[in-house]
Amino acid sequence: MASILPPIDLGSSGVALRRSSRLSRIEHVKSTSTVLRTVQRREIAISAYANNTDISIPTVGGDTSSERTEEEYRPLRGEKRPKPRKRVKKSKEVQGGEDEGEAGPPKKRRKRQLKPEPEYIISDVERKESTFKGRLGYACLNTVLRNKRPASESVFCSRTCRIDSINKNGLDWVKDLGRQNVRDLITMIQWNEDNGIQFLRLSSEMFPFASHEKHGYSLEYCADLLKEAGDLAKRYGHRLTTHPGQFTQLGSPRDAVRGAAVRELNYHCQMLDLMGVGVDGVMVVHGGGTYGDKTAALDRLKQTVTEQLLPHMCYNAEELLPLCEELDVPLVFDYHHDMLNPSSIPPSEIITRADAIWKRRRIRPKQHISEPRPGAVTLMERRAHADRCETLPVDLPDDMDLMVEAKDKEQAVFHLYRIYGLAPVIHANLRPSDPNPSKETKGRKSNKRTAQSMAAQLNDSNEISNLQDNGDELADGTPVGDSSDIDVSGLLANCATSASQSQAQAQDPIESPPGNRRSKRVRNNRS
């Protein structure tokens, strides 16, 4: 059928055609021979439009054996080329007589081949002698289990989230994180038994936001799993303890902060009660800041301990010891904190008096050990924990439970095992230490500028007493000074399940606050 073409506009520069879609494929060429052919085609197109007939254009040389219609022509210069249609993939026919067009079974992903476990080169250690017969423990994370590959097989007890995730996914999703953490705790306890470690600090993030004012929840939903973990630890004779973070400030002048601290301790208390860990499952709490008035802060701390619960680096052991003796709350002596903020009386005397409280309460004593990072000079630098400890303290009692607060976790325990011959180690579970350790912790800092300015001011460790008196804090409210911890969970065996009774009865060991690191999740939890 004849084509209907739009009007033709003849200009001074030659023939210019405004074509419809049927004339949109006339070739644009550059050579001389093709230009002649293009002119010929234009003339034929004009003639065909005038006579209302189809276009038939012969090739050059009069050969009409290969004639083309206007549908085959390419667009001239300046005309847009039509967009090609997207190809729609047709579904493969299913074999076996099924209906045509149905999709076949999805292709299975090829599993990525796991890289073999590297062969670690473990260097020898310098052997030392000691009469120590107690237990060494590590805190919260097992590096061997955490770094398992593939990541789906990784084992750890600190799955957590943010408040936005709670609002998006709901509270049941958050509670399921707690279940997964407890299941992995059971795996960690078994791993510790297989490797000769009988002392473990539980992660405070076992149940995310359980103590939050708005999103908090009871742990009764996970009672069976918690009991299973506690029973396994008791069967092996393991000791499980907790240590709430430094944001737990029982001596704060703000009622909201003290209330949040009490909720946090009640949460830990319920977790230990449901596990049935007994009186040795203590909860170590930081002493807190001085807030510009040490005497008033100690009075608030005493009031909070006696009325609600039961004190870290704004007080040294000598300052907290009388309070612990008065309230009959065991003191956790920390060798690293005592080095940074020494008392006027020797450590041996403090340990003797502190052990007397433990014995009156019929709780096995515990202490903390850590060392500054290599190259640390200023006070702020020396507060950061090293990857491993190289020596046991001189005044360490032979039967003490010693928590090793080091970045390498269970590897730090194995390191002391090898140095002092305390227990055999499985070579396959050993990992080499960092060959180039630095004074940097590689962790997030609350305020880098503030920390740097504080470090510049604290070149002399004697200045710590001035900080204590002035109640200086970092930008996030973390106190700068403090050297020993108080075990606030000495009465955990008598903790009642109701919040009101546990607030009145729960008294635990108190510790001096460690560092200035704090995550955003922790700040959310505090609010």
Amino acid at 237: G
Using an 8 Å Cβ cutoff, are 294 and 314 in contact? yes
Q: Which amino acid is at 204?
A: S
The helix (H) or strand (E) run that includes residue 146 is helix 143-146
Concatenated DSSP letters for 312-367? -TTS-HHHHHHHHHHHT--EEEEHHHHHHS--SS-HHHHHHHHHHHHHHTT---EE
Res 467: pLDDT: 31
Residues 289 and 250: beta-carbon distance below 8 Å? no
Cβ(282)–Cβ(363) under 8 Å?
yes
What local confidence, expressed as pLDDT, does residue 454 receive?
45
Distance CA 484, CA 40 (A): 101
Q: What is the pLDDT of residue 222?
A: 97
Superfamily holding 43-51+120-432: Divalent-metal-dependent TIM barrel enzymes (3.20.20.150)
Distance CA 296, CA 482 (A): 16
- Dist CA 525 CA 162 (whole Å): 9
239: helix, coil or strand? strand
Q: What is the predicted pLDDT for the residue at 479?
A: 34
Please name the residue that has the structure tokens 């001074």: 12
Cα 215 to Cα 211: distance, rounded to the nearest angstrom: 8
Sequence-separated (6 or more) residues with CB below 8 Å from residue 83: none
Say which amino acid occupies 462.
N
Q: What is the pLDDT of residue 17?
A: 44
* pLDDT of 54: 57
Beta strands in 18-145 (DSSP E): 135-139
Structure tokens at 248: 């737990």
Residue 140: both structure tokens together: 């919260």
State the amino acid at position 431 in one-letter form.
R
Burial class (CB in 10 A: 0-12, 13-18, 19+), 504: middle
Bridge-partner residues for 26, per DSSP?
A: none
Q: What is the rounded CA–CA span in Å between residue 274 and residue 411?
A: 30
Nearest to 182 by CA among 218, 158, 213: 158
Contact status, residue 147 vs residue 164, Cβ threshold 8 Å: no
How confident is the model at residue 55, as a pLDDT? 54
pLDDT for 334 equals 93
Q: Report d(CA 327, CA 306) in Å as an integer.
A: 8
Q: What is the pLDDT of residue 65?
A: 46
Q: What is this structure's pTM?
A: 0.65
In angstroms, how far is the first alpha carbon of the chain from the final one? 80
Distance (Å, whole) CA 241 – CA 283: 6
DSSP class of 523: H
Query: Does a cis peptide bond (omega within 30 degrees of 0) precede residue 82?
Result: no
Distance CA 464, CA 203 (A): 30
Phi-psi region of 97 (alpha: psi -120 to 50; beta: other; left: phi over 0): left
pLDDT tens sequence for the chain (527 residues): 444 445 545 444 444 444 444 444 444 444 555 666 676 777 777 776 666 665 555 554 444 444 455 445 455 555 556 666 666 655 544 444 445 455 567 777 777 777 777 889 999 999 999 999 999 999 999 999 999 988 889 999 999 999 999 999 999 999 999 999 999 999 999 999 999 999 999 999 999 999 999 999 999 999 999 999 999 999 999 999 999 887 888 777 888 888 898 899 899 999 999 999 989 999 888 766 666 776 776 676 665 554 434 334 456 888 889 888 988 888 999 999 999 989 999 999 999 999 999 999 999 999 999 999 998 898 888 989 999 999 999 999 999 999 999 999 999 999 999 999 999 999 999 999 998 888 876 654 444 554 454 444 434 333 333 333 333 333 333 333 344 555 543 322 223 333 333 333 334 454 433 333 333 343 344 33
The separation between CA 337 and the C-alpha centre of its own chain, rounded to angstroms, equals 26
What pLDDT, on a 0 to 100 scale, did the predictor assign at position 380? 86
444 near 520, Cβ under 8 Å? no
Joined tokens for residue 237: 């004779």
Question: Pairing relation of β-strands 135-139 and 14-17?
Answer: unpaired
Burial of 218 (0-12, 13-18, 19+ CB in 10 A): middle
Round to whole Å and give the CA distance between 172 and 162: 14
